[in-house]
Amino acid sequence: MATTTNIPSSGSYILNFATIKTVNSKSTVSNIQNSVTVNFNSSTGFTINGVKYSYNFTWGKAGSSQIILGDTAGGYFLLTDADVNISNYTYVNDSYGQSNNHWQVKGTDGTRTSLAFQNRGFDPCFLAGTEISVNGATCKVENLVIGDRIDVLVNGKTEQKTVSWVGKSTCVVKPFLSVDMAGYPVRIVKDAIADGVPFKDMLITPEHCLFFNGRFVPARMLVNGQSIFYDQSFTSYDYYHVETEDHAVIIADGVLTESYLDTGNRQSFRQDGDVLSITRSRQLTWDDAAAPLDVSRAFVEPIFQKLSARAAEMGLPLHTQTPVLTAESGLSLSLGNGRVIHPLRTEKNYALFMVPAGIETVYIRSNASRRNEAIGPFVDDRRHLGVLVGDVRIFEGATSRTITSYLHDENLDGWNNVEFYPMRWTDGNACLPLGQREPGTGALLALQILEAGPYVVRAEMPEETALRA
């Protein structure tokens, strides 16, 4: 079970269990129970020996035998495969800022695994109070019922379609994440798009799409901090979505937006009453949508800039701080024993490092940022990017060889997905196996850095707190 990042919602498994608690700023692993029966009874709960445990957040990695679960009250649970000796591991809440929350699992045998926060995503929905256009009038989204006829836009003309399903769910904000990933709703202020559009402040979830020039754009890509911003006054909220027979362009608070597109997440909603004609998830895709989804920078950035200019003309206050940027990568190598080495020099786009004898693994460390933060939300890339590594060569004595393991091992710690062979982005702390070394011989390591930055300058991070069993 624990070799996957997906926690089951049912079934029984033989696992090891422990709790991780923080008391007076000190964290400890305790209550270790080996080879116990864990009964999963929901997507957020399990039972051990009659004791019920609830969780809201998880940290994991495909291929790992350990998963950490958060209970939202400052404590954590640990589940591992039955053959894992928890006492042989140190658990470190190693967060490089709110936008990259993860745990480091370090074994006494020198192994190291990073467990990343498993973001479940956010459904595209309306918050209560949103006014849906119904036959030229409006109805609050929470008051809509199956069978209502709502206004839709078809080929530039207003028609009516029947509501076939109304769903409701609850979001609990995750404040330890970056603002765009935490679940805060997006507030679009009155007149943000045009005079009377919206005709009042609009509140929607970040993935909800607005309709511009024949295409849908997620609200998160238009956040400018003035007329469109994440409303951080919420800690939790109910949200609603409305489905019509076919996906449609509908009108909410005077804004052209979308009805619910059932891509398989219907089970995350609850509803009162019966569904008119749909009894199970339809598993639709954007090929079934009323208009194309377009998240390309070429399409979204001009819309973003136009709305930002309008916000400035309106004299609206800034709700977020403009990030300070740097082009400095801060590139170095960590040897895993606490020692850090810096480049000897740079030749063309190669950074050259002297690696001591006996070192078979190094970590490529650098600054890291997400492009949607460093460049703008109109860039649909929320990966943490450190440096883009191309060719890697090691020179020992009279021999040299090319290292390519980082291009083939998808689960190698600290690397983003392989996009264009032969190159790969680090996430700011990437494991690089050097292979078997010649005994007693130092080596020159050459890293080809194809791209780096820009980076958001962040405040100095607090020291890591080690959690030991």
Is it the case that residue 278 has pLDDT exceeding 50? no
Domain span(s) for CATH 2.170.16.10 in the chain: 126-314
442, two tokens? 């130092």
Amino acid at 379: V
What separation in angstroms does the CA of 384 have from each of 98, 180, 372, 416, 454?
12, 14, 10, 8, 12
Task: Identify the band that residue 94 occupies on the pLDDT scale cut at 50, 70 and 90.
Answer: low
Q: Please give the CATH superfamily to which domain 126-314 belongs.
A: Hedgehog/Intein (Hint) domain (2.170.16.10)
pLDDT tens-digit readout, 342-379: 999 999 999 999 999 999 999 999 999 999 999 999 99
The two tokens of residue 434 are: 């050097």
* Residue matched to tokens 């680090």: 426
Q: Is the dihedral of CA 161, 163, 164, 168 positive or negative?
A: positive
pLDDT category at 17 given cuts 50, 70, 90 is very high
The top-scoring range by mean pLDDT among 83-92, 205-214, 456-465 is: 205-214
Question: For residue 249, what are the contacts with CB-CB under 8 A and spacing of at least 6?
Answer: 152, 153, 154, 211, 256, 257, 258, 259, 290, 291
104-113 tens-digit pLDDT: 788 888 777 8
Considering the entire predicted model, what is its pTM? 0.73
Helix (H, G, I), strand (E, B) or coil at 277: coil
Rounded to whole angstroms, the Cα distance separating 56 from 176 reads 13
Determine phi and psi for 462, rounding to 5 degrees: -65, 160
The candidate with the shortest Cα–Cα distance to 150, out of 229, 75, 248, 56, is 248
Cβ-Cβ contacts under 8 Å for 451 (sequence gap 6 or more): 387, 388
DSSP string, 384-399: -B-EEEEEEEEEETTE
Query: Among candidates 407, 418, 443, which has minimal Cα distance to 333?
Result: 443
Q: Residue 71 pLDDT > 50, yes or no?
A: yes
pLDDT band at residue 283, thresholds of 50, 70 and 90? low
The amino acid occupying position 463 is E
State how far Cα 328 lies from the chain centre. Answer: 25
Question: Which uninterrupted H or E stretch holds 150?
Answer: strand 149-154
Q: Is the peptide bond before 198 cis (omega within 30 degrees of 0)?
A: yes
**Residue listed under structure tokens 């980082």:** 406
For position 141, what pLDDT does the model report? 96
Tell whether the model's pLDDT for residue 100 goes beyond 90: no
Which of 35-49, 179-193, 236-250 is the least confident region? 35-49
Structure tokens at 131: 């006014």
> What are the φ/ψ torsions at residue 371 (nearest 5 degrees)?
-70, -30
Q: Which amino acid type is present at position 151?
A: D
What lies within 8 Å, CB to CB, of 21 at 6+ separation is 27, 28, 30, 74, 75, 76
pLDDT higher than 60, residue 122: no
pLDDT of residue 162: 95
Report the b/e string of 285-305 with b at 16+ CB within 10 A.
eeeebbbebbbebebbbebbe
